[in-house]
Amino acid sequence: MPDSRLPVAPVDLPTGATARYARHLSLPGVGLVGQQRLAGARVLCIGAGGLGSPVLQYLAAAGVGTLGIVDDDAVDLSNLQRQIIHPVTAVGERKVASATAFIANLNPLVTVRTWDTRLDRGTVGEILDALDPHIVVDGSDNFATRYLVADTCADRGIPVVWGSISRFSGQVSVFGDGYTLRDVYPEPPEPGTVPTCAEGGVFGVLPGVIGTIMATEVIKLVTGTGTPLIGRLALWDGADATMRTVRFDRQPGSVALRHTTPPETGGNRAPGATVTPDGIREIPVSHWPELVGNGVRLLDVREPHEWAGGVLGDPLRLPLGTLKTGVLGPLDDLPRDTPLAVYCAAGVRSRAAALLLDDAGFTDVVSLSGGINGWWLRH
């Protein structure tokens, strides 16, 4: 476990809780002790928006004893497409008030504490001191807050359940036991280089998928059941309905995604690539600029409507669906030893494309793990 306070010490259940939590009480791995641990847990949720909505709903339903909520925003009509904790009648109200009302109606056995304030260096310590949470859930929507939360909690030894969304894709991890956000993304991207939800859009159900996974990780940590996502990053591609996980090491100051297979050696132009169990050479998307500098051609295998949202560099464009039919399009006249770096949204379609290109005779193909969404989330 990432912290000596986990799993949480059990406490007596409130009166009337047995019937409410009956399905947990009969569940191996949770049971009475697990439910008592949930009742004794204090969880701080940063943000009551897209990710915070499902996190707060499911943690309240599960019986987390004390939920803290930090948010300095008011409910806007455009929020309702995805921030399902807020009803239309709450438009104009403070989000912490709206979320509190929802939780009270869902499960009055849960204590809610709120901070209607922006989290900054002056407030983060005060809030953590006041609540003394067992776990912090980071559902914030800006990089400054994410890194502030990650760094502060790392200093204090508080586990962080972290999630991030962009358009159709999302990521989830658990930072604790010496792992931090900076092991995956050492530094925040430059301001204005990553589109916000307002600028780039967001698939309405995506926060529900990622937020529910985040809530799952919290419950696992509190009860001590299952294997948490510590040292692993889960990547969900909603467009393709695929999820994969990659491991990362404790390497402060550098991107440390790694795979279990050893690096491939040889004369290719993608040094440091690793080989997946299905034989695909793979390298993190963060390396694409240096690959291009070494003469590697980029290939975007997303669909045409996705290209309109932006591409990496000046890629060749060939949708995976077209490639599956045997049509090579812009690749037809290329020498088969042309080095290619294939990418998609999150790195799943690019691996399928790499296999097809190998079958077509191309001898120097690498898939960019994380995809263009991984690049946007870092830059």
Q: Are 356 and 324 in contact (CB under 8 A)?
A: yes
Q: How would you label 178-190 residue by residue, b for 16+ Cβ within 10 Å and e otherwise?
A: ebbbbbbbbebee
* Closest to 248 (Cα-Cα) out of 173, 188, 312: 173
Q: What is the DSSP letter of 229?
A: -
Q: How far apart are CA 274 and CA 368, in angstroms?
A: 11
Q: In the annotation, is 197 catalytic?
A: yes
Name the one residue in this structure whose structure tokens are 């969900």. Answer: 236
Asked whether the beta carbons of 233 and 257 are under 8 A apart, the reply is yes
Give ∠ CA 357-237-308 in degrees, rounded to 5: 75
Question: What's 254's DSSP letter?
Answer: S
Tokens of 130: 């006041």
- From the candidates 128, 135, 331, 344, which is the catalytic residue? 344
Say if CB 246 and CB 346 are below 8 A apart.
no
Main-chain dihedrals φ then ψ at residue 212, nearest 5 degrees: -70, -40
| Total Cβ atoms within 10 A of residue 296 | 21
CA–CA distance, 69 with 124 (Å, rounded to integer): 12
Q: How far is CA 53 from CA 32, 139, 165, in A?
A: 27, 9, 14
Catalytic residue among 103, 112, 197, 353: 197
Catalytic residues: 197, 344
